């Protein structure tokens, strides 16, 4: 199966966290995940 590079803008926010959960629940074929967030969120765990 083909895998995709996925970027999620606002990954540390509520919507970003839900999107990441959905990808996991549905076994979406992710090659690399690029969580994007503001400088204020630097160092946060996704």
pLDDT in tens, 8-19: 999 988 999 999
pLDDT in tens, 17-39: 999 999 999 999 999 999 998 87
pTM score: 0.77
DSSP letters spanning 8-37: EETTTSHHHHHHHHHHHHTT--EEEEEEE-
């Amino acid at each position: 199966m083909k895998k995709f590079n996925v970027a999620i803008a606002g990954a540390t926010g509520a919507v970003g966290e839900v999107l990441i959960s959905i990808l996991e629940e549905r076994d979406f074929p992710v090659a690399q995940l690029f969580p994007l967030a503001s400088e204020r969120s630097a160092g946060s765990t996704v």
